[in-house]
Amino acid sequence: MKKKSNLVQVYGKHPVTAALLNNNRIHRELVTTREILSQLEGKLPKYDLKISIKTPKEIDVLAPNATHQNIVLYTSSIISRDSHVLKKISKKEKSAIIALDQVTDPQNIGAIIRSALAFNIDALILPEHSAPDETPAMVKASSGAIEKLPIIKVKNLTNTIKLLQKENYWAIGLDSNTSTLINNHNFGEKTVLIMGSEGKGMRRLTKETCDLVVKLPMSDKAESLNVSNAAAIAMYELFKNL
């Protein structure tokens, strides 16, 4: 991920437009061509940010090997480390939260964020030391959803799950090494769904903290699903109960 003065980089017309409309970000610089800027004029709020006009080749240098569409925004990260955000969400009578344990691929996380918004998930929890910070690939894969879903990084995922359990959340882990099918479980009004990384799955302490471990019903023709696909199916099961 490219940064400028500790800012994150967002590129592409749709991701940049969505980020500019997010009042929770602090925007610093918009780099684009005159043609793209003229297309945006009148469509977005006025911001006190630096606008730099560059050629497409100059923008290629800022975002190499990226589908930047000649527009790059330097802005503050949307990922929060404020525990009060999670505390406020946990007071809801009905709630679904997803936690990712050592899922490290930004594109998978971005896809999960997109599905989470579609299925009314209240927040996404990431561990501080085993998950990436916001990246352009994550933003792009979320297709704008990252601007609308609270994402909180926590120092200790296991302790955070335990705190949610005290707020009457059921901690449901997804793991293929169990006989309990997710579609045979009646979810309660408050659930935190925990997904592990592909291959490694959940860490031992995370798994032991779960109230229940379930798996997706699958054909024997495939060993596993991509974590973002598995998360989407699991979140749909939660969505049916919300």
HSE, side-chain direction, 13 A CA sphere, residue 115: 21
Look up the CATH number of domain 3-75: 3.30.1330
Alpha helices in the chain (DSSP H): 13-20, 34-40, 56-62, 83-90, 106-118, 136-142, 157-166, 204-209, 227-239
Q: Quick one: which H or E segment has residue 28?
A: strand 27-32
Count of CB atoms within 10 A of residue 1's CB?
14
Average pLDDT over residues 63-91: 93
Grade residue 6 by pLDDT with cuts at 50, 70 and 90. Answer: low
Q: What is the pTM of this model?
A: 0.91
- Reported as a single tens digit per residue, the pLDDT across 191-214 is 999 999 877 889 999 999 999 999
- Reported as a single tens digit per residue, the pLDDT across 95-119 is 999 999 999 999 999 999 999 999 9
Fold exhibited by the domain 83-239: Alpha/beta knot (3.40.1280)
Residue intervals of the chain classified under CATH 3.40.1280.10 are 83-239
Q: DSSP assignment of 43-66, as one string?
A: TS-----EEEE--HHHHHHHSTTS
